[in-house]
Structure 1
Amino acid sequence: MTGTAALSISEVALENEQLRLALQAAQVGTWDYNMETGQAEWSVICKRLFGLPEDASVTPAVLLEQVHPDDRERVAHANARVLSPQSDGDHNVIFRTLREGSAPRWVQAKGKTILNDEGRILRFNGVVIDVTELKQAQEALQQSAEVLEQRVAERTQELKEANLQLKKSNENLAEFAYIASHDLQEPLRKIQSFGDILRDQYESQLGEGIMYLERMQSAARRMSTLIKDLLTFSRLSTRQENTTTVSLTDILSHVLHDLELAIQETGAEVTVESLPSVKGDASQLAQLFQNLVSNAIKFGHPGTKPVIEIRTERITATDLPLTIRPVRAVAAYQRIDVSDNGIGFDEKYIERIFQVFQRLHGTSKYAGTGIGLAICEKVVVNHGGSITARSQPGKGTTFSVYLPL
């Protein structure tokens, strides 16, 4: 029996020694305060964390004096709270301690009260941990967050100012568009009117000069068309002006009615599948399909009846071609294909055809200003979609419009 008791005591002593070494290695201080006797035990590391010598006589008042003045009231309140009868017995507070000759250290004190059967506090013990590096890291992170927040605020302000400048620029552009549509058209109308008078009244006297008059009239007409196209392009806002549910079938019906004369003159055959309704701006979508269909009629083979097919298909985002990057990413899209049997073009020019003033054919053979497809792309982008084309020289073209659903 004696041997067994001696072995048990040895095991306890060994465990205590292992615990002491572990606490020492981790630089964790401990305290134990006997509320009945008033005696307190503070480990060497605990004293060191409070800036006290190892042989210092320690009381709660002495330790409180070692707390940084800015934290002292908060620590005293935490101590009083945990020792009050209403306390849950848990103690956890972070504060700074004073150390002579060096900067204050941040420590965390965590403790627990032990009660007797009557609920009176017998002991109050716990540990003290140096958390200076953790606090410094937190402060550095906070400073970085504040710097980042400041930069975000500055950038936001810059964007607001840029938006204001852009708004002003757009207003100036709208004003210019009005001037272009009115003031620039007026002299062109006079040139055309006086040219008509010259031709009608003095054609016999002009002789070969009639050729120059016709060229002048043709140039004036092209300039008038160019101004009108520029006006249309500039008036397209960066979004839909009147977003409603639009029937594409109705849109195409109106477009074909407007192009009736060109269809009759060329004998064009236009086939339109039943098209869905989409959210968008009806006037802009009408401009889009009018440009695409009129292009298909205009760029037909000479002497060959234009054949135009308009088809549609609902596709998912995963079915989009790799080259398609819609403005607005959604789960599904409506693809509308406008195909023709016209002269086509080399696909190496695919990016060029959607740029303003870019033409693949001379004005002497195919009329136009080089703005029509740029308008198409702008309309599609305004609706959050994308447009592309597939073509081969002499084998027709298919324009594919992707509108988000």
Structure 2
Amino acid sequence: MNASYQTLQNRIAELENELASIRAAVRDNENHTQPHEIAGFGVDPQGNVKNEDRNWNETQARIRESEERFKVIANIAPVLIWLAGPDKLCYFFNKGWLDFTGRTMEQENGNGWAEGVHAEDYERCLQIYNTKFDARQEFSMNYRLRRFDGEYRWISDRGVPQYTESGVFLGYVGGCMDIHDQMNFAESLEKEVQNRTLQLKKSEEFLQSILNTTSNSIASYEAVYDDAGEIYDFRILYSNEETYSQYAMRFESITGRMCSEVYPEIFKKGVFEKLVKCVKTGKPDAYVTDYQNSNGTFWFDASIESNGNRVTVTARNITEELKADLQLNELNEKLKIQNSIFNHSEENANFGSFALTLATNKLECSDNLYRLVGHLPQEFTPSFDQFISFLHPGDRQRAIRDGMRALETKNLVQNDYRVITKDGSLKYLRLSGKFINEGGRQIMIGAMQDVTKDIQLNEALRLKNMELKRNNEELASFSYVASHDLQEPLRKIRAFSSRILEKQPHFSDSTKDYFNRIVSAATRMQKLIEALLSYSNTGNSEVSFVDTDLNKILEDVQTDLEDLIEEKNVTIEVSRLPVLRVIPLQFQQLLQNLISNSIKYSKPHVPPFIKIRAEMTHELEKGSSYWKISVSDNGIGFDQRYESRIFDLFQRLHGKSEFEGTGIGLAICKKIAQNHHGFMSAKGMPGEGSTFSVYLPVEMDA
């Protein structure tokens, strides 16, 4: 506590003593005042004021004057002042105290002041206060007191007991000072002292380890001269324990012996010459050498210092360091290779990577990220603002909003942005990434890929799709025309030709033949149009797959072909078919086409025999399991070399005069199989019959 504070405390104590003396005098006057004097209101029979009352008034005036003077001094004092009576209860706090705590006199009086003492200091302060108060002893204590802003600050509180001149105990007067900053400074200074002490201790331990550790050996040698005054050997004067442990020797076994006897290898590796040179020149030297024993090869980094004809050699075992350096070099080489692979991968994949440390706003970019924007690696200092400047003006605001949203949500959403490169060309870069926590730091890592070609291809695909949509619409329009407008003239040709033949029976045979050919050609044309419409409708995407019993489908097909089956005396043998998820109408058309083909291409005068069966099979080439549904017959068959052509549009292996047909039926079957994610195959032999198989994935099995 400084001198000014002590002086102020002494002055407060003097005022309090003076105030206490005045109060004691008042009590003495009160004790000597007679009742009749009090009853007479201090006036004698002649109307004069009594001397006792005059003294009383003067005393009261002195008390008020002293109290006012005390309060003025206390309130302007730069310390916190309090007064307590003999009952331990405080009855006065100066303005400094009230300003500090932000409370009123009424709130602080009594024991109210204790409400601001920190909970961890309360019991200790109360113990000191009560103990010293009961013993009427001066006390000092430090504790934390809550300031008006809620912060607890360390204060130093000193309390002094007060007495009257006659020795009557009046209570305590106390003064406090804010020592929070001094306490913090003292703590920081103490920590600094502790840290410095720890550093010195570590330095001492390090110096000690130089003399006796697992990696350092110290030895002192004395030069030995021959008759010509030349050094021919060195005598060992001292070696620490590490020297002996390294060479597996006992301490007393080498002291006083010659180096040529104990360390003969120094004469083979140039060490002896360095020792001699150091003695002669007085200059320090150093060398690195190896030593081999039964435990392996060890490397030492040694330094030599001379003192007259003596040298001191300090050797440090660097074997582990060399191994670590070797491992580090290997790791660095691997890292270089990995970085090279990664850089090449970035170039090949046409993307660049980056890492943004959020705390420091430091942005690191790969070399290829610079190239993506048309710059050389490290050509500019990367930053968020810098990359925003590369963006197309129409994308900048969106990129800024996306960046702010990513920082708030810690979620980086994939987006495409247009970038104007250094040479002015336009690129599309796709940004993606995520946030990670690395060593307590939040880092946003990501990649930017050049998707210009993808964007351009997608745009071209979009245009092609639009064109395809227009073509489909035109095809739909053509289908309508084909199904109505084109067939109407054909129907009229057939109808009018038939009527002409009926009304003109006298036509010659050649004329009748011409008209029959006209009707036949119109009929074939009409069937061809109907087949084309059927083929185009097979690819309709608006159909749906339904769990279907193929046995029921087959029954419907046989019912539709009932007349033809009876006419040709057809025998159909069917094994149990599965329930599959198919497009019912299309699959019915597929079976009908296959059965119709078997009947159509039957051998003359041989009743057709058709066998239909289903089995599970695994196609090795396609690597999946399928339901195989086969339709076999005993018809005319076909040459197997035509298998690849038989399912194409308008492909016929026989003349129109031999077998009626459009060449579209099997093409429709193939398309239906593809609609069901399957495929078809055909096997045949001329004169032996044919087998047509449709393969449907097992996953479609109901």
2:609 aligned residue (292, 307, 311): 307
Note the 1:234-253 alignment, pairs <5 A.
234-237=536-539, 239=541, 241-253=543-555
Deviation at 1:345, TM superposition (A): 0.5
Determine if the alignment matches structure 1 residue 4 to structure 2 residue 241. yes
Is the 2:590–2:669 Cα contact (8 Å) retained in structure 1? Answer: yes
Q: Report SS of the residue matched to 1:309.
A: strand
Aligned to 1:233: 535
Aligned to 1:208: 510
Aligned to 1:377: 670
Is the 1:314–1:334 Cα contact (8 Å) retained in structure 2? Answer: yes
The Cα offsets for residues 76-118 of structure 1, whole Å up to 9 and x where unpaired, read as x99xxxxxxxxxxxxxx9799xxxxxx7899xxxxxxxxxxxx
Letter in 2 for 1:316: H
Aligned to 1:294: 596
Note the 1:246-325 alignment, pairs <5 A.
246-318=548-620, 322=621
Determine if the alignment matches structure 1 residue 350 to structure 2 residue 587. no
Is the 1:346–1:392 Cα contact (8 Å) retained in structure 2? Answer: yes
- Structure 2 vs 1, CA of residues 281 and 203 (structure 1 numbering), >3 Å: closer, same or farther? same
- Structure 2 vs 1, CA of residues 313 and 158 (structure 1 numbering), >3 Å: closer, same or farther? same
Letter in 2 for 1:267: N
Note the 1:86-101 alignment, pairs <5 A.
none
Note the 1:31-50 alignment, pairs <5 A.
none
Is the 1:174–1:235 Cα contact (8 Å) retained in structure 2? Answer: no
Q: Report SS of the residue matched to 1:353.
A: coil
Is the 1:240–1:280 Cα contact (8 Å) retained in structure 2? Answer: no
Letter in 1 for 2:611: E
Determine if the alignment matches structure 1 residue 366 to structure 2 residue 603. no
Letter in 1 for 2:650: F
**What is the root-mean-square deviation of aligned Cα atoms in Å?**
3.6
* Rounded Cα–Cα distance in structure 1 between residues aligned with 2:525 and 2:380: 80
- Structure 2 vs 1, CA of residues 343 and 398 (structure 1 numbering), >3 Å: closer, same or farther? same
Note the 1:128-147 alignment, pairs <5 A.
146-147=448-449
Q: What is the TM-score of this pair, normalised by structure 2?
A: 0.38
- Structure 2 vs 1, CA of residues 18 and 149 (structure 1 numbering), >3 Å: closer, same or farther? same
Deviation at 1:362, TM superposition (A): 0.7
Letter in 1 for 2:665: G
* Rounded Cα–Cα distance in structure 2 between residues aligned with 1:184 and 1:95: 67
Is the 2:300–2:319 Cα contact (8 Å) retained in structure 1? Answer: no
* Rounded Cα–Cα distance in structure 2 between residues aligned with 1:399 and 1:244: 24
- Structure 2 vs 1, CA of residues 73 and 312 (structure 1 numbering), >3 Å: closer, same or farther? closer
* Rounded Cα–Cα distance in structure 1 between residues aligned with 2:325 and 2:648: 74
The Cα offsets for residues 109-158 of structure 1, whole Å up to 9 and x where unpaired, read as xxxxxxxxxxxxxxxxxxxxxxxxxxxxxxxxx9xx74553333333333
Aligned to 1:400: 693
For CA contacts below 8 A with separation 6 or more, give which structure has more relative contact order: 1
Deviation at 1:247, TM superposition (A): 1.4
* Rounded Cα–Cα distance in structure 1 between residues aligned with 2:492 and 2:629: 42
- Structure 2 vs 1, CA of residues 337 and 19 (structure 1 numbering), >3 Å: closer, same or farther? same
* Rounded Cα–Cα distance in structure 2 between residues aligned with 1:160 and 1:227: 32
Q: Report SS of the residue matched to 1:332.
A: strand
* Rounded Cα–Cα distance in structure 2 between residues aligned with 1:273 and 1:401: 15
Letter in 2 for 1:309: K
* Rounded Cα–Cα distance in structure 2 between residues aligned with 1:7 and 1:73: 55
The Cα offsets for residues 265-290 of structure 1, whole Å up to 9 and x where unpaired, read as 11111111111111111111011111
Q: Report SS of the residue matched to 1:214.
A: helix
- Structure 2 vs 1, CA of residues 292 and 23 (structure 1 numbering), >3 Å: closer, same or farther? same
Greater displacement, 15-24 / 227-236:
15-24
Deviation at 1:25, TM superposition (A): 11
- Structure 2 vs 1, CA of residues 72 and 398 (structure 1 numbering), >3 Å: closer, same or farther? closer
Is the 1:334–1:402 Cα contact (8 Å) retained in structure 2? Answer: yes
Aligned to 2:679: 386
* Rounded Cα–Cα distance in structure 2 between residues aligned with 1:104 and 1:205: 97
* Rounded Cα–Cα distance in structure 1 between residues aligned with 2:615 and 2:358: 73
Determine if the alignment matches structure 1 residue 182 to structure 2 residue 484. yes
Letter in 1 for 2:605: G
Deviation at 1:73, TM superposition (A): 11
Aligned to 1:58: none
Q: Report SS of the residue matched to 2:240.
A: helix
* Rounded Cα–Cα distance in structure 2 between residues aligned with 1:73 and 1:291: 69
Structure 2 unaligned residues grouped into runs of 5+? 1-211, 213-238, 247-298, 302-314, 330-355, 367-377, 382-432, 434-446
- Structure 2 vs 1, CA of residues 72 and 146 (structure 1 numbering), >3 Å: closer, same or farther? closer
* Rounded Cα–Cα distance in structure 2 between residues aligned with 1:281 and 1:73: 57
Aligned to 2:426: none
- Structure 2 vs 1, CA of residues 8 and 334 (structure 1 numbering), >3 Å: closer, same or farther? same
Deviation at 1:243, TM superposition (A): 1.0
Q: What is the TM-score of this pair, normalised by structure 1?
A: 0.65
Aligned to 1:221: 523
Deviation at 1:212, TM superposition (A): 0.8
Is the 1:174–1:234 Cα contact (8 Å) retained in structure 2? Answer: no
Deviation at 1:15, TM superposition (A): 4.3
Count of residue correspondences: 296
Structure 1 unaligned residues grouped into runs of 5+? 28-70, 79-92, 97-102, 107-141
Letter in 1 for 2:614: T
Deviation at 1:208, TM superposition (A): 3.1
Greater displacement, 176-185 / 240-249:
240-249
Note the 1:13-52 alignment, pairs <5 A.
14-15=316-317, 19=321
Deviation at 1:8, TM superposition (A): 7.8
* Rounded Cα–Cα distance in structure 2 between residues aligned with 1:343 and 1:317: 28
The Cα offsets for residues 191-210 of structure 1, whole Å up to 9 and x where unpaired, read as 01101111111122454311
Aligned to 2:6: none
2:627 aligned residue (319, 334, 346): 334
The Cα offsets for residues 20-60 of structure 1, whole Å up to 9 and x where unpaired, read as 99769979xxxxxxxxxxxxxxxxxxxxxxxxxxxxxxxxx
Percent identity between matched residues is 38
* Rounded Cα–Cα distance in structure 1 between residues aligned with 2:691 and 2:540: 26
Is the 2:636–2:688 Cα contact (8 Å) retained in structure 1? Answer: yes
Letter in 2 for 1:260: E
- Structure 2 vs 1, CA of residues 203 and 148 (structure 1 numbering), >3 Å: closer, same or farther? farther
Letter in 1 for 2:678: G
Letter in 2 for 1:256: Q
Is the 2:678–2:696 Cα contact (8 Å) retained in structure 1? Answer: yes
Letter in 1 for 2:578: P
Q: Report SS of the residue matched to 2:316.
A: helix
* Rounded Cα–Cα distance in structure 2 between residues aligned with 1:362 and 1:368: 9
Is the 1:268–1:308 Cα contact (8 Å) retained in structure 2? Answer: yes
* Rounded Cα–Cα distance in structure 2 between residues aligned with 1:373 and 1:313: 22
* Rounded Cα–Cα distance in structure 2 between residues aligned with 1:334 and 1:177: 34
* Rounded Cα–Cα distance in structure 2 between residues aligned with 1:258 and 1:72: 75
